[in-house]
Structure 1
Amino acid sequence: MMQSGGPNYAVELGRFDGRVSTRNSVNLPHGNFNLDQLTGYFGSLGLSPTDMVALSGGHTIGAASCSFFGYRLGGDPTMDPNFAAMLRGSCGSSGFAFLDAATPLRFDNAFYQNLRAGRGLLGSDQTLYSDPRSRGLVDRYAANQGAFFNDFVAAMTKLGRVGVKSPATGGEIRRDCRFPN
């Protein structure tokens, strides 16, 4: 992450992971979740609303297929109409769009600035600003990249502790994190 401008932090080592990973075992929040659904999802992992908003800032890098956000292009009142028009062009030509159109290759706080301008690609991202319960954190991170980085590191560390296995539950410490031993 540091190569793209993000914070540098020590990743905890020695985590027991499962021996099998499948597509069906991946459980992520949907791109159309509202704030209550997001809060419930992240809460079920033991993460706070602050963790949730900070982790969502990871969308400052990456892209999404039009199938994840196309439903918003037909007049979503929380989306900037000029942004929607640009996205309709992207969907016609490339079939995807960057999650952060302003600085897609930099890990920075532009993601939050985009939300304030109605330029959140996923509905679940834009709801962080549209819903007054989380808007204050979006405003804080949009104005203070250091605050975002600090909270992101703390939330990533907590996320890394979710669902840790043990030898008794079929876990292992991998020699290479990409492959089971």
Structure 2
Amino acid sequence: MSTFILHIPPLRERREEIPYVLTQMSQQLALTHELEPVHFSPQMIAACVAYHWPGNLRELGNFVKRYLVIRDEPASLADLESKIPGYYQPVPERNSMVTATTSPDLKSMVRGLKDQAEMQAIRDTLAETKWNRRIAATRLNISYKALLYKIRQYNLSAPAQS
């Protein structure tokens, strides 16, 4: 039985709210995960407003969570801008030109940093929950099976109890 039917338009139809939502999510997630909130540059806000957020608030929240953990604005911005069709890409300055031969190294560096941040977040959450994997999975907002996979992937093990 439905007493009230609410129509809440998707985030892409409420773009003017995105800067406020970014700030609120950053503060709330930082408090939850005991981190310093991040501040979004005008360029980052513009990219967030330009993106269509098909996953709505959940996708935006995951983006903010990743940004809180990684704290690498250029990488986060590049990732977001790559998803926006026709988004303006500024021409790099002469001094910052990167050759095509260094691209795979940069990509692997970013992947390595992401993996390190993910492993540390999982390790910290497992420690906080005394290795209760179900609670840890809930806090990390991933499925229990995904957490088990990540524990095996990163070869994590519970500390020996005495």
More helix by share: 2
* Bigger radius of gyration among the two: 2
TM > 0.5:
no
Name the TM-score class by shorter chain. Answer: under 0.3
More strand by share: 1
Q: TM-score, normalised by structure 2?
A: 0.27
Q: Considering Cα pairs closer than 8 Å and 6+ residues apart, tell me whether 1 or 2 has the greater RCO.
A: 1
